[in-house]
C-alpha cells in the first residue's frame, strides 16, 4: 500500500489551491499508477469540486486501478494561533459527513484527513467497524506539527490498539503554509516503527495484523469500556 499526503496535487493555503472533479485528471493518474505498480494507493487528498462546493477528499485505488473508497475530511482546521498559524478551512471547504473504510487482503483500513486525527471519537468508531490500520494524509504546519504530529499519531495508535500512518509533504519554506514533514507510522503499542525527516523521503512500515490481535488480547480495552457510563454513537451516513 502506498500513501500520499494531504493536498498532494495542489498548493495548500486558505484559498490558494487548484480543484477538480472526481473522477478527473488527477485521479486518472492515481488509478494508472496503482495499476502499473500493482498496489493499493491511498492518493492523499485533493481539493474536490462537486455540486458547486469544494471538499478535501481522499481517494483509494486498488491494484487493478479501480476507485474503491472516497473520504472527505470531516473536521475543519479553523485555528488562530498568534505567531504561529491562522487557518480558516471552513471558509472554502465543505466538511464531509461519512466514515469510510476499505478492505485489503491483509487488514481493514479506516480513513481520515489531517485535522481529523485530533478527534479521538472518529478513530474509536473505526475500531468498532473492525479496522486494524488508520490512515491520515496530512499537512500539519510547523507550529502545530512540532507540538502534536507524532504525539497524535502515537496516541491514536495506543488508545485504539492499531496501526496509524500519518503522511505529510516534505517541508518547503517557500509555500504559504510550511509543512512540518516527519511522516510516521505507529504500531498498536504506540511505538513509532517508521519515520521520515522533514525532507522528501519514502518511509516503509510493516503492518502486522497478528500484532494488533496480540496487543488487544493482552490488554482488552474495547471490552473494558464502561458502556453503562458513556457511549460514542456512530451516526455517520454510511
Among 1, 4, 60, 114, binds ligand LQR7VSFR (CB under 6 A): 114
Instruction: Please classify residue 165 by burial: count the beta carbons closer than 10 Å to its beta carbon, then call 0-12 exposed, 13-18 middle and 19+ buried.
Output: buried
Which residues on adjacent β-strands are paired with residue 48?
20, 55
Among 61, 102, 115, 211, binds ligand LQR7VSFR (CB under 6 A): 115
Asked if residue 186 lies in contact with residue 193, where contact means CB atoms within 8 angstroms, the answer is yes
Among 49, 118, 124, 214, binds ligand LQR7VSFR (CB under 6 A): 118
Q: Which stretch binds ligand LQR7VSFR (CB under 6 A): 40-48, 122-130, 140-148, 187-195?
A: 140-148
Residue whose Cβ sits closest to ligand LQR7VSFR = 144
Catalytic residue among 8, 114, 131, 184: 114
Q: Which stretch binds ligand LQR7VSFR (CB under 6 A): 23-31, 43-51, 135-143, 189-197?
A: 135-143
Question: Minimum distance between the CB of residue 175 and ligand LQR7VSFR, rounded to whole angstroms?
Answer: 13
Q: Which is nearer to ligand LQR7VSFR, 79 or 107 (CB)?
A: 79
Among 40, 140, 163, 211, binds ligand LQR7VSFR (CB under 6 A): 140
φ/ψ of residue 163, rounded to 5: -85, 145
Asked if residue 41 lies in contact with residue 66, where contact means CB atoms within 8 angstroms, the answer is no
Question: Minimum distance between the CB of residue 134 and ligand LQR7VSFR, rounded to whole angstroms?
Answer: 15
Which residues on adjacent β-strands are paired with residue 49?
54
How many residues are listed for the chain in this entry? Answer: 238
Catalytic residues: 6, 73, 114
Interacting residues toward ligand LQR7VSFR by CB under 6 A: 77, 114-115, 118, 139-141, 144
Amino acid at each position: 500500500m502506498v500513501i500520499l499526503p494531504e493536498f498532494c496535487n495542489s498548493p495548500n493555503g486558505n484559498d490558494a489551491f487548484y480543484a477538480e472533479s472526481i473522477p478527473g485528471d488527477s485521479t486518472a493518474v492515481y488509478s494508472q499508477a496503482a495499476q502499473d505498480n500493482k498496489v493499493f494507493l491511498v492518493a492523499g487528498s485533493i481539493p474536490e469540486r462537486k455540486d458547486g462546493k469544494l471538499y478535501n477528499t481522499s481517494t483509494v485505488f486498488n491494484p487493478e486501478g479501480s476507485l474503491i473508497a472516497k473520504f472527505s475530511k470531516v473536521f475543519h482546521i479553523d485555528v488562530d494561533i498568534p505567531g504561529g498559524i491562522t487557518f480558516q478551512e471552513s471558509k472554502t471547504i465543505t466538511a464531509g459527513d461519512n466514515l469510510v473504510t476499505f478492505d485489503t487482503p491483509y487488514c481493514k483500513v479506516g480513513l481520515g484527513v489531517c485535522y481529523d486525527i485530533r478527534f479521538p471519537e472518529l478513530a474509536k468508531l473505526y475500531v468498532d467497524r473492525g479496522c486494524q490500520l488508520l490512515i491520515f494524509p496530512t499537512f500539519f504546519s510547523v507550529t502545530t506539527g512540532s507540538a502534536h504530529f507524532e504525539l497524535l499519531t502515537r496516541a491514536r495508535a495506543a488508545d485504539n490498539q492499531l496501526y496509524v500512518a500519518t503522511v505529510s509533504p516534505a517541508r518547503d519554506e517557500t509555500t504559504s503554509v510550511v509543512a512540518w514533514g516527519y511522516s510516521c507510522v505507529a504500531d498498536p503499542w504506540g511505538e513509532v516503527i517508521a519515520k521520515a525527516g522533514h525532507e522528501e523521503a519514502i518511509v516503509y512500515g510493516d503492518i502486522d495484523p497478528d500484532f494488533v490481535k496480540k496487543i488487544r488480547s493482552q490488554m482488552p480495552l474495547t471490552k473494558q469500556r464502561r458502556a453503562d457510563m458513556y457511549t460514542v454513537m456512530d451516526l455517520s451516513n454510511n
